[in-house]
């Protein structure tokens, strides 16, 4: 039997209600912040990611699903959303439409990583990008939005960590200082860190290897080497977060796994996720829009992993759907049941989460009700020969087991009344 690819799981019907509820809540939060949705393609040119995420990052070096397509072009399944949003922003001149573009997206991303709890090869992200302002309070708004989503889903013991990663003025001299420090320790560092000294020294700070961590306690930190504008920016971000009561800690080691960040970087961690404990992360990327060919526009954003959000949320969020089963008992009632189902659907369409199902092929109430119980249906409408003769149906509440006879003409109204009582 054919199987799904490793790290690319199906989301089965038993779980989709929870996903839909999660997505709906996320959309509500985004719209309360004035964000508009943007949908970009899953496939983009490989260049887009190597130029934005960075040639020497793990994502570009090892994790991208890259193919040569039938035209001989190198294309890649998106490993993240920011690059595509920036491409679309530039391509469609969205800077003219919005002084500050507030864009969100939700959907699958692809990274060829080693699958484990909270780490997949096809995973889902929600992402938020705010393009067009360099104001530190826009960073504060982005961090608050991440915090609010965490709060809404009651993420288990959330910790918000922030840092500054400097900019084009202060990062190059800091990079040299850090490289000099790392070269002095080179032989004691792990193999990956040794390679990164030349290519991506800041990522060394992120290494999980305990020996490297020990050696790095004395490493120079970006935060202590930032230029005055970056320092002031970071102070204002902290002040803003304090003013609106968003609790945070400073973690000088946050460097993020993508190269486009400038100034503020932040992550939200959850207490119950083990080694893959970062639920969301992001930061400012003031140079990316111009690096991708657009007019200079400072920007800030973040993304959250939806699988990790679900794993870290303390309670189930989906409300159980209400199923109504229309059950013809025998051939004679089949057409009429189909008609009744159609009418009921039309009159109940406004009731989100209510479904009407015709259960065909049952000659006795026993077998039909067994099926209804299995699907945890709330109501059964049974139509046998006797009911047909009287133009009545038996309406059974499967939760209370109360049953009554209702004329065909009155079924919709009766059910609506019952549901109204239920929803109160
Ligand atoms: P990222 O830190 O690479 O940032 O990913 C954001 C989140 O996606 C992570 O915190 C994690 O929850 C989830 N995630 C990443 N990889 C996996 C995986 N293999 N399996 C499951 N979940 C995963 C970005 O992608 C940036 N584009 C964020 C950003 C937006 N920065 C500015 N704007």
**Could you report the per-residue pLDDT of 176-231, keeping only the tens digit for each?**
999 999 999 999 999 999 999 999 999 899 888 999 989 999 999 999 999 999 99
Distance 403 CA to ligand 1 centre (A): 52
Task: Choose the weakest-confidence range: 8-12, 85-89, 409-413.
Answer: 409-413
**Ligand 1 midpoint to CA 277 (Å):** 11
Is the CB of residue 150 below 6 angstroms from any atom belonging to ligand 1? no
pLDDT in tens, 348-396: 877 767 899 999 999 889 999 999 999 999 999 999 998 899 999 999 9
Cβ atoms 234, 144 nearer than 8 A: no
SS3 per residue for 157-221: CCEEEEEECCCCCCHHHHHHHHHHHHHHHHHHCCHHHHHHHHHCHHHHHHCCCHHHHHHHCCCCC
Q: What pLDDT score was predicted for residue 351?
A: 72
pLDDT over 60 at 424, yes or no: no
**CA dihedral sign of residues 39, 40, 43, 49:** negative
- Residue closest by Cα to atom 29 of ligand 1: 302
Residue 347 pLDDT grade (very low, low, confident, very high; cuts 50, 70, 90):
confident
Q: How far is the CA of 361 from the centre of ligand 1 (A)?
A: 49
Please tell me whether residues 265 and 414 are part of one structural domain: no
The pLDDT score that the predictor gives to residue 159 is 96
The answer to whether residues 156 and 254 belong to one domain is yes
Q: Is the pLDDT of residue 284 over 60?
A: yes
Shared domain check, 345 and 243? no
Sorted by sequence, the CB contacts under 8 Å of residue 410 that are 6+ apart come out as none
Q: What percent of the chain has pLDDT over 70?
A: 98
pLDDT at position 320: 73
pLDDT given at position 318: 63
Q: Is the pLDDT of residue 242 over 50?
A: yes
pLDDT digits (tens, 9 = 90+) for 74-112: 999 999 999 999 999 999 999 999 999 999 999 999 999
> Using 50, 70 and 90 to split pLDDT, how confident is the model at 342?
very high
Same domain? For 127 and 85 the reply is yes
Pocket of ligand 1 contains residue 125 by CB under 6 Å: yes
Cα(234)–Cα(170) distance, integer angstroms = 14
| Cα distances (angstroms) measured from residue 2 to each of 5, 120 | 9, 19
Residues 267 and 306 in one domain: yes
CATH number where 33 lies: 3.30.930.10
Q: What does the alpha-carbon distance between residue 396 and residue 398 come to, in Å, rounded to a whole number?
A: 6
State whether the beta carbon of 110 lies less than 6 angstroms from ligand 1: no
Residue nearest to atom 30 of ligand 1 (CA): 302
Q: Is 409 a member of any domain? A: yes
Give me the pLDDT at residue 423, please.
Answer: 42
Q: Among residues 249, 279, 312, which one ends one of the domains?
A: 312
Q: How many domains does the chain have?
A: 2
Q: Is 280 in the pocket of ligand 1 (CB under 6 A)?
A: yes
Residue 190 lies in a domain: no
Q: Is 325 in the pocket of ligand 1 (CB under 6 A)?
A: no
326 plus 303 within the same structural domain: no
In a domain, 25, yes or no: yes
Q: What percent of the chain has pLDDT over 90?
A: 85
Q: What is the mean pLDDT of the chain?
A: 94
pLDDT-derived band at 422, boundaries 50, 70, 90 = low
Q: Is the CB of 80 under 6 A from ligand 1?
A: yes
**Is there an atom of ligand 1 within 6 Å of 79 CB?**
no
> Which domain, by its residues, includes 385?
322-420
In tens, the pLDDT along 296-305 reads: 999 999 999 9
Nearest C-alpha to atom 20 of ligand 1 is from which residue?
A: 119
Residues 302 and 377 in one domain: no
Ligand 1 atom with the smallest distance to the CA of 79 is 25
Question: Are residues 120 and 232 located together in one domain of the fold?
Answer: yes
Of the three residues 312, 344, 370, the one that is the final residue of a domain is 312
140 lies in the same domain as 166:
yes
> Looking at the structure, do residues 295 and 370 belong to the same domain, yes or no?
no
Q: In the sheet where 249-250 sits, what is the strand order?
A: 36-37, 101-110, 122-131, 299-305, 278-284, 262-269, 159-164, 249-250
145 C-alpha to center of ligand 1: Å?
Answer: 16
């Amino acid at each position: 039997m054919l199987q799904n690819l490793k790290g690319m799981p199906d989301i089965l019907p038993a779980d989709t209600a929870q996903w839909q509820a999660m997505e709906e809540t996320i959309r509500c939060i985004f719209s309360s912040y004035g964000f508009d949705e943007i949908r970009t393609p899953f496939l983009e040119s490989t260049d887009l990611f190597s130029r934005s995420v960075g040639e020497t990052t793990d994502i570009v070096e090892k994790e991208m699903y890259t193919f040569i397509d039938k035209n001989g072009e190198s294309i890649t399944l998106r490993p993240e959303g920011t690059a595509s949003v920036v491409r679309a922003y530039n391509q469609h001149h969205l800077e003219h439409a919005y002084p500050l573009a507030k864009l969100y997206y939700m959907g699958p991303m692809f990274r060829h990583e080693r699958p484990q709890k909270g780490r997949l090869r096809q995973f889902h992200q929600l992402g938020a990008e705010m393009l067009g302002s360099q104001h530190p309070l826009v960073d504060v708004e982005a961090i608050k939005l991440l915090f609010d989503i965490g709060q809404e889903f009651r993420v288990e013991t959330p910790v918000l960590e922030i840092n500054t990663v400097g900019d084009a003025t202060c990062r190059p001299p800091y990079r040299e200082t850090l490289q000099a420090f790392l070269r002095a320790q080179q032989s004691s560092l792990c193999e990956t860190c040794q390679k990164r000294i030349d290519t991506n020294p800041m990522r060394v700070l992120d290494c999980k290897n305990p020996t490297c961590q020990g050696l790095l306690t004395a490493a120079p930190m970006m935060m202590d080497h930032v230029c005055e504008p970056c320092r002031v920016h970071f102070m204002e971000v902290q002040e803003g977060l304090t003013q609106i009561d968003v609790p945070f800690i400073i973690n000088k080691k946050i460097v993020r796994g993508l190269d486009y960040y400038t100034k503020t970087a932040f992550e939200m961690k959850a207490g119950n996720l083990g080694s893959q404990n970062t639920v969301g992360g992001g930061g400012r990327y003031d140079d990316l829009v111009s690096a991708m060919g657009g007019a200079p526009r400072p920007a800030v954003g973040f993304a959250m992993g939806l699988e990790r959000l679900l794993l870290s949320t303390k309670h189930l969020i989906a409300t159980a759907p209400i199923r109504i089963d229309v059950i013809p008992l025998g051939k004679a009632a089949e057409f009429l049941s189909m008609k009744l189902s159609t009418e009921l659907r039309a009159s109940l369409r406004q009731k989100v989460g209510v479904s009407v199902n015709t259960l065909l092929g049952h000659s006795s109430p026993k077998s039909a009700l067994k099926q209804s119980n299995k699907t945890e249906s709330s109501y059964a409408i049974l139509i046998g020969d006797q009911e047909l003769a009287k133009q009545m149906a038996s309406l059974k509440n499967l939760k209370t087991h109360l049953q009554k006879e209702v004329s065909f003409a009155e079924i919709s109204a009766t059910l609506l009344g019952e549901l109204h009582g239920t929803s109160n």
